[in-house]
């Protein structure tokens, strides 16, 4: 994977993230969005949760989709690009800037973003996996933005990241801290969500290199 020449990182807020992706295929960026945007997005998530707009997440796609709580036990609300709330619009705009930056750095040909709001209830988890489906290769880069106001190590729910070159070797347990964004290549970085001991909130999505279906 080749990367373009970039300006110095102190002139580029996304520069440290690009460096991490180049060096190890995953990266962490804290403080990417302002606090007011995070608060609005969290409130939007909680509003949708109260309105019963979340559904149990499953595994597989198309005809092979199924609920498998032994594998993953989170709940999701897919964001519709044609009907975004104001906080979701702000999130989409920020991810559009990131899409442009990723394309400029890694020549990925990313064309669009898809995503959902995510709730892991107490006791929920997601077993080790990669995000790109075996029969559909258009998910290229994964992003997770955490919306948990207060979090401690005792709360569990860390994102465990595995070495892309030694996929049975964990290399980091990342707590889902307020405003933290984790980005990684969807086809090469195995990861799992360890059992959470309190509700765990996030916005999760993927940059794709195909066009949206008509």
Tokens 């279906």 -> residue: 213
Q: How far is CA 31 from CA 14, 39, 165, in A?
A: 11, 13, 29
Instruction: Report the pLDDT value the prediction gives residue 63, as an integer from 0 to 100.
Output: 83
Q: What is the average pLDDT across 94-116?
A: 98
Q: Taking the CB of residue 139, how many other CB atoms lie within 10 A of it?
A: 20
Q: What is the average pLDDT across 20-46?
A: 98
Domains of the chain (ranges, CATH numbers): 17-54+72-208 (2.60.120.620)
- pLDDT tens for 114-168 read 999 999 999 999 999 999 877 678 999 999 999 999 999 999 999 999 999 999 9
- pLDDT tens for 47-95 read 999 999 999 999 988 888 999 999 999 999 999 999 999 999 999 999 9
Q: Is the pLDDT of residue 9 over 50?
A: no
Tokens of 30: 């804290």
Average pLDDT, the chain: 94
Q: Report which of residues 193 and 6 the model is more confident about.
A: 193
Q: Is the pLDDT of residue 11 over 90?
A: no
Q: Is the pLDDT of residue 2 over 70?
A: no
Instruction: Report the pLDDT value the prediction gives residue 1, as an integer from 0 to 100.
Output: 42
Q: Is the pLDDT of residue 19 over 90?
A: yes
Which has the closest alpha carbon to 198: 114, 107, 122, 147?
122
Q: What is the sign of the dihedral through the CA atoms of 149, 152, 155 and 158?
A: positive
């Amino acid at each position: 994977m080749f990367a373009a020449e970039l300006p110095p990182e102190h002139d580029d807020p996304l520069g440290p993230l690009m460096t991490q992706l180049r060096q190890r295929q995953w990266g962490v960026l804290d403080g990417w969005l302002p606090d007011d945007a995070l608060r609005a997005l969290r409130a939007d998530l909680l509003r949708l949760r109260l309105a019963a707009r979340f559904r149990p997440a499953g595994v597989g796609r198309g005809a092979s989709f199924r609920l498998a709580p032994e594998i993953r036990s989170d709940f999701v609300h897919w964001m519709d690009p044609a009907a975004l709330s104001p906080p979701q619009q702000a999130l989409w705009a920020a991810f559009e800037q990131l899409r442009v930056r990723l394309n400029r750095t890694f020549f990925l040909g990313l064309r669009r973003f898809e995503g959902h709001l995510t709730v892991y209830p107490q006791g929920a988890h997601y077993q080790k996996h990669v995000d790109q489906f075996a029969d559909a290769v258009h998910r290229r880069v994964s992003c997770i933005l955490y919306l948990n106001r207060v979090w401690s190590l005792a709360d569990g729910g860390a994102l465990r990241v595995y070495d892309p070159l030694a996929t049975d070797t964990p290399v980091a347990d990342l707590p889902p801290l307020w405003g933290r964004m984790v980005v990684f290549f969807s086809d090469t970085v195995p990861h799992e969500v360890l059992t959470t001991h309190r509700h765990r909130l996030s916005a999760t999505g993927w940059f794709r290199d195909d066009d949206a279906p008509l």
